[in-house]
Amino acid sequence: MADDLKKGLEGVLVAESGLSSIDGDEGRLIYRGYPIEDLARGASYEEVVYLLWHGDLPTADELEEFTAALEEERAVSEDVLAMMERLAAADEQPMAALRTAVSMFSATEPEDDAEPADLEATLRKGRRITAKIPTALAAFERYRLGEEPVDPHPDLGLAANFLYMLTGEEPSDIHAETFDQALILHADHGLNASTFTSMVIGSTMADIYSAVTGGVSALSGPLHGGANQDVMEVLFEIDESDLDHREWVEQANEEGRRIPGFGHRVYNVKDPRAKILQERSKELAENGEDKWYNYTTTIEQYLSEDQGLAEKGIAPNVDFYSGSVYYQLGIPIDMYTPIFAMSRAGGWVGHVLEYQEDNRLIRPLSRYTGPEDQEFVPLEDR
């Protein structure tokens, strides 16, 4: 078995988890046994994070206590704010700024002397990270705009509060509900690259700040996060074109261009998260501008049905609709992947905690392909 090379660990079973499960053939995603559709339409992001971390949906009292604990941890230090201002002035990429912020959070950790095996302390640290990420991200964006950060709103949930800190105005109900739903859809998704990265780091019993920083770093790569930004850039191109959007996608297809947001490493059918965000995109279109929804539905119909991509197992993934949804919410496109990280932090923390309950250092094998029996030559003779 050790001689079988599996590039990218594809098909290799490396861990067991009770957090989430994906059926790529049926287009089914569950968190702790609950269908994603039920959670997205009936729960809040806070309820879902509680579910991922504790194994059960909270009661009303448990949710109130959990939400209050998150609210208490939202503020970030002046040092973090100063760093966000410096990075914004230096035109740093948002994901790099977030990576720096998460790493800096540990400087004010009140339980920095907790033992690595103290999982209750790790859970509390994870809660602090999850609560602070929206504040740091919103501050970075405000500084980029030449404006001062907006303090967290004590009466708003995590999703609505982020939109508030981003703009200084309380979001409408539909905007808050849509963004909350988007965070739920991105909270966890099996053993993807960033989650596995966090678990590898956690398996060394490094602190949770290191594990989440590693998750952010892995998510910043173009093969993992960022496709929703690519989708939005395509939609901008369509909008600026002289062609009708149907004509544009036909021409792009004839030129052999690949449209981002189609296909997934796991799903062979339409991503269930894409279906939910398509509904939200339609609702946003009915209450505002409809062209972005029209563009995406036209592209999907043409590629999936007319060109037969659906029959080939290539269908829209979550990024195909999240890009236009975020844009309709007024979120800058280079903040899309950091928002992904803001949501996925809940999953990263959950997986690290779960793995550390029965921890074993992750240490796979590699096959040596270098030379053998090299004769060493002293420096003076080389």
Is residue 87 within 8 A of residue 97, CB to CB? The reply is yes
Among 264, 271, 290, 351, the active-site one is: 264
Rg (CA), the chain: 22
How far apart are alpha carbons 60 and 155 in whole angstroms? Answer: 17
Give the bridge partners for 34, in sequence order: 31
Residue indicated by tokens 């800190």: 165
Strand order in 34-35's β-sheet? 20-23, 28-31, 34-35
| Residue 378 phi, psi (nearest 5) | -55, 155
**Could you tell me which of 101, 370, 93 has the C-alpha nearest to residue 225?**
93
Burial tier of 150 (Cβ tally within 10 Å: 0-12, 13-18, 19+):
middle
Catalytic status, residue 264: yes
Q: Is 68 exposed, middle or buried (0-12, 13-18, 19+ CB in 10 A)?
A: exposed
Burial of 350 (0-12, 13-18, 19+ CB in 10 A): buried
Q: Cα 262 to chain center, whole Å?
A: 17
Catalytic residue among 180, 188, 230, 319: 319
Cβ 170 vs Cβ 160: under 8 Å: yes
DSSP string, 29-81: EEETTEEHHHHHHH--HHHHHHHHHHSSPPPHHHHHHHHHHHHHT----HHHH
DSSP state of 28: E
What is the set of active-site residues?
264, 319
